[in-house]
Structure 1
C-alpha cells in the first residue's frame, strides 16, 4: 500500500512539475511587416529567438506575427501592448525621430554591419537622453545596406532623374530628393512593386537587396550602384517596457544580454548578405547594372549634390541637445575602425 502510494505521489509530482514548466513559458510576440522570406524574418528574428530561448533556458519563446498593419504603426502597437515587440523604419514617422538620421547621412562609406554597430554605440552615448523612443525600450538599432537608384528606364547621368517620380522611405532620402529635383512619393517597401508596375513612380531609392526581396528585377530593370551608396536607412527593434519588466530579473537580463550591439551586428550582417544576394540575382535576371566607378562623373556629381546635407541634421540635433559635429565625427571613426 505504502509503496503504491509513494509511486502515485512521485508520478503526480512529476506531472505537476512538467505542467508548471509548460505554464512558465512566456511568449514574446514580435509584430513584423516584411514578407516571411525577407532576411529580417528568415534570418534575424529566428536567430535572435534561438538566443533568447537558450539564454532563458526555454522560459521565453519568440513568435512572429504578420499582417498587423503599416510599418509606421508598429511603434504604437508596441506602446499600446497590442504586441510585445516590433521593428520599424524611422523615416516612416517624420518629426518624431531626428537624431536617428545621423546614420543615414550620405558618404558614410559603410556596409550595414559596421554602420549598425557604430550606430548602437553612438546611440547609447549620445541619443538616449533625448528619449525619441519614449514609451519603448530599444533592443537594437541597425541599417539596411547602402541605398541605390533603381529605375524603369536607364540613367545616363544623375540629371536624368530631374522631374522624375521616385518612391522614398523618408528620413534623409527627402533631402536627397530635393537635391536631385525629383518628386518624392512616400510609401512602404511592400508597396514598391505595385507602384512601379502601375507606373505611379519612375524609380526607387532602395538597397540592392530589394532586387530580390521585393522582386524589383521585374519592374525596375535598371540598377545604378554608386560607390558607397547614397544613404543608409535607420531601423530600430523595440519592446514594450511593461512586458520586459513582467519577466524575472534573470530572464530580463538574459534577453538584454543577447540584444543591443549583438543584435545590431546580426541584423546589419543579414542585410549585407541580402545586398550580395540581390546583386547576384539581378545579374542572373539580366538587369542592366551600372557599377559606377569612384572617378566616374556620376560619382563626382553625387558628391557635389550632397554637400551641406549634414549641416541641416547638425542644426536639428542641436535643438535636441546633441553635438551633431561630434556625433558624425565619432560615428565615422567607429565605422572605419570596425570590427573592434
Structure 2
C-alpha cells in the first residue's frame, strides 16, 4: 500500500508540475511606463498570451533597456526574449517595411498597421530581411506632423531651419523640404528645443504629451494625411519561440500577427489625441490644414516620386515592389472602410 501511495504521489507531483509550469517572456522596452506601447499594447497582448496559453506563458516588462536601435540585437543575442524596434534605425537591413512610411492614402495608423502586416506576409516575409528574429507584428505610429518654435505659413518658411529627424524615409523628406536635418533620439528633443539647438521636429502628436514638447514648441502644423509615418516591428527570439510547445507557439501567434498589429497601431493613434489636448492646455497654436490648403498642395508636390525612390531602393530584394505598394494602399483603404462603416 505504501508503494502504491508513493507512486501515486510521484505521478500527482509530476502532473502538477507539468500543468503549472510557466514561461515568463522578458520584454525589453525603451519607452516610459506612460507610453501607449507600455501602458496599453504590452499589457493587452500579455493578457491575450496568458489567456491563450491557459496561464503557461506570461510576460514581464523590462524598462530602460537602451536605445531603440539596440532592441534588435538584444533579442537576437538572447538578452531579452521579446521587444520592438524602429526599422529605420538600422538602415540597409530592413528596407521593405519603409513602403508604409511614405505619405500615402490614409493617415489612420490602425489601417496602415494592418495593411503593413498583410503585405509583409504576402510579399516581404520570403525576402528574409528578418532572419534571426521571429516576427510577431508590425505597426506604425500616428501620422508624423510638424512642431516648431515659429509659425509656419508656407513651406518656404522651413528653408534652412534646423529640424530634428529620426531615420528612414523622413530623412528624404527633410531633404525635399530644404531643412537642415539634425539627427537625435526622441529623448533628446525636449532639451534641444529648449536650448535652441533645433527649430523644430517631425513627430506624431503623442509626443506633445509624452515627451512634454507642448512646453517647448509654439506651433503645431497638422497635414491632412500626415507628413510621414514610421514602421515598427515586434519580434521574439526564435530559439525561445521554438523552445515553447507547439500548442503554446500556435496560441501566441493566434493573438499576434494582424491582431497585435491592429492593437499597436490603434493605441499609438489614440495617443495622438492626448498629445493635442496637452498642446491646447499650453496654448500652443495648432494649425489644421485642409486638403485644399496651399501648404497641403505644396507638400504634395514636394513628396512626388518618393514611392519610386523606395521601389528603386529595394531593387536588390526578390519582390515585386509595385505590387506590394498597390496591395498596401488597397488593404489600408479596405480596412479603414470596414472599421468606419
Q: 2:31 aligns with which of 31, 34, 44?
A: 34
Structure 2 counterparts to residues 155-166 of structure 1, below 5 A:
155-166=152-163
Which residue in the other structure is 2:253 paired with? 256
Which residue in the other structure is 1:241 paired with? 238
Q: 2:79 aligns with which of 69, 75, 82?
A: 82
Structure 2 counterparts to residues 67-216 of structure 1, below 5 A:
67-216=64-213
Unaligned regions of 5+ residues in structure 1, if any? none
Query: How far apart in 1 are the matches of 2:107 and 2:191?
Result: 30
CA contact (8 A) 1:34 1:190 kept: no
Q: 1:330 aligns with which of 320, 327, 330?
A: 327
**Per-residue Cα deviation, 1:272-299 (whole angstroms, up to 9, x for no partner):** 1111121222122211101112111111
Which residue in the other structure is 2:226 paired with? 229
CA contact (8 A) 2:28 2:80 kept: yes
Query: How far apart in 1 are the matches of 2:96 and 2:56?
Result: 36
Query: How far apart in 1 are the matches of 2:197 and 2:253?
Result: 43
SS at match of 2:251: helix
SS at match of 2:286: strand
SS at match of 1:289: strand
Unaligned regions of 5+ residues in structure 2, if any? none
Which residue in the other structure is 2:57 paired with? 60
CA contact (8 A) 1:107 1:230 kept: no
CA contact (8 A) 1:209 1:279 kept: yes
CA contact (8 A) 1:108 1:231 kept: no
**Per-residue Cα deviation, 1:232-264 (whole angstroms, up to 9, x for no partner):** 110000001000000011011100110000000
Is the alpha carbon distance of 1:220 and 1:10 closer, same or farther for their aligned partners in structure 2, counting shifts above 3 Å? Answer: farther
Which residue in the other structure is 1:287 paired with? 284
Structure 2 counterparts to residues 272-283 of structure 1, below 5 A:
272-283=269-280
Is the alpha carbon distance of 1:81 and 1:292 closer, same or farther for their aligned partners in structure 2, counting shifts above 3 Å? Answer: same
CA contact (8 A) 1:112 1:143 kept: yes
Is the alpha carbon distance of 1:284 and 1:11 closer, same or farther for their aligned partners in structure 2, counting shifts above 3 Å? Answer: farther
Query: How far apart in 1 are the matches of 2:10 and 2:151?
Result: 72
Which residue in the other structure is 1:306 paired with? 303
The TM-score normalised by the length of structure 1 is 0.94
